[in-house]
Structure 1
Amino acid sequence: MDKNYDVIVVGGGTSGMMAAIAAAEKGSRVLMIEKNKRFGKKLLMTGGGRCNVTNNRDVDDLIRHIPGNGKFLYSTFSQFNNFDVMAFFEENGVALKEEDHGRMFPVTNKSATIVGALVERMRALNVEFAMNTVVTKLIHDGNQMSGVKTETGDFQAPCVVLTTGGRTYPSTGATGDGYRLAKQVGHHITPLYATESALFSNEAFITDKTLQGISLRDILLTIQNDKGKVVTEHKMDLLFTHFGISGPAALRCSSFVNQLLETQDEVAAILDCFPDLSADELSKKLETALADTKKTVKNALSSFLPERMMTFYLERLGISELPSNQLTDDQKQALVAILKHFTIKVFKTFPIEKSFVTGGGVELTEINPKTMESKKMPGLFFGGELIDINGYTGGFNITAAFCTGHSAGAHAAEIASYFSY
């Protein structure tokens, strides 16, 4: 294997493969170094093995769904965005389809289709691969990158792109190597925390598994700090588990929960089962359902929520078996309150290693947003989950990874070309 290249990409995941492709398309001789024996191990797991490859939204909406420093990506998205990601796959023989909330999947419903297209494109562009290879050190003279040191030898290049991922799912090879390498050249790593993670609770109804397995559609989950201020809220589906709550609504709240838990012992998650109805509107709807004098409250309201969920609420208020026409005004108000404002105390999320996305990473003020080049070390570029950007599930993290990788690879190739003269 040759030892001299224009661009070296370290990490063959979502961002790295796109970086290698972008650099090679610009005419660079590219080496891709991957510690695993195959590419895209985490990408193969995404979207339940179907690969939610991007999201079909305009850029402003896309950035709103990347709460972890999404505004940093405006420059990146002005060069290569989600629509370019879609075009890339279509041009490379992968038909995509749109599902709910703008999520884009391959028509084959197989993540291997996406990974295969990226690998084939790299091969077509003559990107060279160093598999099962671990980078141990960045080579530089203090003013300019000149290559990388691996366990099997050194490789030279004036530009290096780090796309080693975060710390989620260490089985995929994401064990924090990139943070260590970035620190070697003076970069600061912001505190790491789990995002897109399920929420744990010690509430009795959780530990007793009273609600385990119940799924609620289009509820509103609100996170409040210890002063009662709303920090974030999401209207999506929710699932009760044996340890707490999961599903899209819980996952989207998790990064905010973890940041609050830095200064609080527990966090209030407020569940509104009827977010499309005001308290008055819900009260009137309940009044109509309770007007049947022949039913108990439980039977009169059986269609409002999954049976176990409604029974739980009614038993908590002690009104489950009462005749439906005998509820007092106070009892009715209490019923509206619990349906629209039920508090679940959360004390932790899954650790980073078992979460979908890593929050935190290489400090963004140390990266040029137009080029993804390090401000600390010329010739060093970053992309993907390694940097301090995180989004919601739904194709947003993958989009950020593809696009930052493309920007890093393209600009690394441009810089490397100056060294050819």
Structure 2
Amino acid sequence: MYQTIVIGGGPSGLMAAISASAQGGKVLLIDKKDKLGRKLQISGGGRCNVTNRLPYEEIIKHIPGNGKFLYSAFNTFDNESIIAYFEKRGVKLKEEDNGRMFPVSNNAKDVVDTLLNNLRDNQVEIKTNLAVNHLILDGDTIIGVDTERGVFHCQSVIIATGGKSVPQTGSTGDGYRFAEQAGHTITELFPTEVPITSSEPFIKSKVLQGLSLQNVALSVLRKNGKPAITHQMDMLFTHFGVSGPAALRCSQFVYKEQQRQKKQDIQMTIDAFPEESLHDLTRRVQEMLKESPDKSIKNSLKGLVHERYLLFLLERAGIEETTSYHHLKRDALSTFIASLKQFQFTVNGTLSIEKAFVTGGGVSVKEIHPATMQSKLHDNLFFCGEVLDIHGYTGGYNITSALVTGYVAGLNAQKAALL
């Protein structure tokens, strides 16, 4: 008999087991893979963006999928608690752009090892390479879990199995099945933080493939042509569509607009000069052209934007790159400058949920107590991490959510078990 069983050895599951075991009693952590913390190990390009130091309001803003649900949990354990937890155990952290926190060593292994050492210090029993088949219920009470190697009884269960993204780490959606068995609602699952796909001729021809644009404003348009969301970051053209930070952040809004507009094709725009008005940009371009009126427009505007993007937009405006300012038609120039500010193109979706960094949707947070992560349907069932319908942008926000909800779930599950 265990006080608490944690299913899943990702960031939320590790923290849940640590938090639970700190209260005393017996805790069992089960994971179907051979190694714990696989997703942490590869996060942040192997450096592990362990949290974000921005204020609460900013963190919530960067978790567009039910971020407000985390306010109560932050009262117990927050981003500063995460920083203190690791630094107290010898993992010094450093702050990079936009509040992102990384280990000074730039090695995710230091983060994972700290959590694993804490588990051992707290004498958490660990069973890897073990798949859970289903929960065992006695009426409304969960009394244990059935696994490939038999039944394990407990007084509290924490489901920390992750979503369906990055399935090689073990996140294959098992937790949704367990949640449904217990009567919980699973909101529609969809990929977030994922590259966007397009069938535009210029994408198919690969004319811009591999081209990266810096600090552009990428927007997803509503049916009325107004932006549903805009992200000003870097982006990348690929052989199947667009990727890079701005595209990843826009991806969930492509999905949402497809649902809202009840159509597959959605319009997006790129503003290559988000800090400059159309009027000011027009004046600047005209001045560049007037400085060398006999030169080809390609040479006159050298350095304005990346050469491949410049030639691409000139061609779309019907302007030959060898044309000089003297021979330039006013309408064509206006069309070209307008495309620098608003190049519109059609997208038709995203890559699959398995290729996404984060899963959108999950166990409905309406059925979870936000201060404890306890199920509203079963007193001794708790949820944490990506299995919940909570999703944020990359930048430490999802790991923050996982560690915070994991700590709170573990604390309250073990307290309930020890009563």
User: What TM-score do the two structures reach when normalised by structure 1?
Assistant: 0.96
**Where do residues 338-349 of structure 1 align in structure 2 (5 Å cutoff)?**
338-349=339-350
Q: Which residue of 2 aligns with 1:213?
A: 210
- C-alpha displacement of 1:259: 2.0
Superposed CA deviations along residues 194-214 of structure 1, whole A, max 9, x for unmatched, are: 000000111111111100111
1:87 equivalenced with 2:84 (yes/no): yes
Q: Distance in 1 between matches of 2:412 and 2:284?
A: 59
Q: Distance in 1 between matches of 2:211 and 2:96?
A: 24
Q: Distance in 2 between matches of 1:299 and 1:77?
A: 55
- Whether the 8 Å CA contact 2:317–2:333 is kept in 1: the answer is no
Q: Which residue of 1 aligns with 2:264?
A: 265
Give me the identity figure in percent. Answer: 48
Which of 135, 157, 160 aligns to 1:160? It is 157
- Whether the 8 Å CA contact 1:226–1:264 is kept in 2: the answer is no
Q: Which residue of 2 aligns with 1:53?
A: 50
Superposed CA deviations along residues 205-257 of structure 1, whole A, max 9, x for unmatched, are: 11111001111111000101233232111000001111110000000011111
Tell me which moved more, 138-147 or 232-241: 138-147
Q: Which residue of 1 aligns with 2:190?
A: 193
Q: Distance in 2 between matches of 1:331 and 1:15?
A: 55
Q: Which residue of 2 aligns with 1:394?
A: 395
Q: Which residue of 2 aligns with 1:283?
A: 282
Q: Distance in 1 between matches of 2:316 and 2:81?
A: 52
Q: Distance in 2 between matches of 1:273 and 1:346?
A: 18
Cα 1:326/1:78, change in 2 over 3 Å = farther
Superposed CA deviations along residues 111-136 of structure 1, whole A, max 9, x for unmatched, are: 11111111011111111101111111
Q: Which residue of 2 aligns with 1:403?
A: 404
Tell me which moved more, 123-132 or 135-144: 135-144
**Where do residues 13-412 of structure 1 align in structure 2 (5 Å cutoff)?**
13-262=10-259, 263-291=262-290, 292-319=292-319, 320-412=321-413
Partner secondary structure for residue 242 of structure 2: strand
2:155 partner amino acid: P
- C-alpha displacement of 1:38: 0.8
- C-alpha displacement of 1:326: 4.1
Q: Distance in 2 between matches of 1:290 and 1:321?
A: 13
Partner secondary structure for residue 145 of structure 2: strand
1:245 partner amino acid: V
2:47 partner amino acid: R
Q: Distance in 2 between matches of 1:204 and 1:302?
A: 26
2:81 partner amino acid: D
1:189 partner amino acid: I
**Unpaired segments ≥5 residues, structure 2:** none
- C-alpha displacement of 1:293: 1.6
Partner secondary structure for residue 236 of structure 1: strand
Partner secondary structure for residue 176 of structure 2: helix
Task: State the number of aligned residues.
Answer: 415
- Whether the 8 Å CA contact 2:318–2:332 is kept in 1: the answer is no
Q: Distance in 2 between matches of 1:36 and 1:394?
A: 26
Q: Distance in 2 between matches of 1:5 and 1:228?
A: 57
1:135 partner amino acid: V
Partner secondary structure for residue 2 of structure 2: coil
1:342 partner amino acid: F
- Whether the 8 Å CA contact 1:187–1:362 is kept in 2: the answer is yes
Superposed CA deviations along residues 333-380 of structure 1, whole A, max 9, x for unmatched, are: 212210011112111211001111000000111101110000111100
2:82 partner amino acid: V
Superposed CA deviations along residues 3-47 of structure 1, whole A, max 9, x for unmatched, are: x11111100001000001111112232110111111011221111
1:217 partner amino acid: Q
Q: Distance in 2 between matches of 1:109 and 1:93?
A: 14
Partner secondary structure for residue 375 of structure 2: coil
1:380 partner amino acid: L
2:231 partner amino acid: H
Superposed CA deviations along residues 131-166 of structure 1, whole A, max 9, x for unmatched, are: 111111112222222221111111111111000000
**Unpaired segments ≥5 residues, structure 1:** none
Q: Distance in 2 between matches of 1:309 and 1:228?
A: 24
Q: Distance in 2 between matches of 1:120 and 1:255?
A: 36
Q: Distance in 2 between matches of 1:99 and 1:297?
A: 40
1:44 partner amino acid: Q
1:297 partner amino acid: I
Calculate the aligned-residue CA RMSD, in Å: 1.1
- C-alpha displacement of 1:318: 2.2
Q: Distance in 2 between matches of 1:330 and 1:103?
A: 45
Partner secondary structure for residue 40 of structure 2: helix
2:295 partner amino acid: K
Tell me which moved more, 13-22 or 23-32: 23-32
- Moved >4 Å (runs of 4+): none
Superposed CA deviations along residues 47-76 of structure 1, whole A, max 9, x for unmatched, are: 111111111100110000000111111111
Q: Distance in 2 between matches of 1:231 and 1:312?
A: 26
